[in-house]
Amino acid sequence: MRLRHHPKSGAARQLAATVETADSALAQLRGLMFRRSLPEEYALAFRFGSARPRDVHMLFVFVPLDVIWVVDGVVERVERLRPWRGIARSEADLLLELPAGAADGVEPGDELVLEPA
């Protein structure tokens, strides 16, 4: 899969060429813990059946991340979290974790779409 950003104004762009999904409870719990680096144009997607508050913690995460909370395809929140110390919560039915800087320019109200590669 790939991740496309459709801003409220301006041209659409690709945020990630490679998107992994955390499909199992174990994969969701682990997230990006213990990874020492992330490839460019990479994202980890957590898809949920409904929108509700979702927590992200950075315990055992060694790299800074951009985290995006999405409800019905619309960005609710974008936050850069620091390794080991970051924690944040917002409503989402889709949560995305990307390398820090990858979500620059993504703002609440923009649309994000997961597409087949």
List the chain pLDDT tens, one digit each, 117 residues. Answer: 999 999 998 899 999 999 999 988 878 878 887 888 899 899 999 999 999 999 999 999 999 999 999 999 999 999 999 999 989 999 999 999 999 999 999 999 999 999 998
Give which of 78, 71, 35 is closest to 52, Cα–Cα.
Answer: 71
Q: How far is Cα 42 from Cα 67, in angstroms, rounded to an integer?
A: 12
pTM: 0.94
Helix, strand or coil, per DSSP, at residue 90: strand
What's the confidence (pLDDT) of residue 117? 80
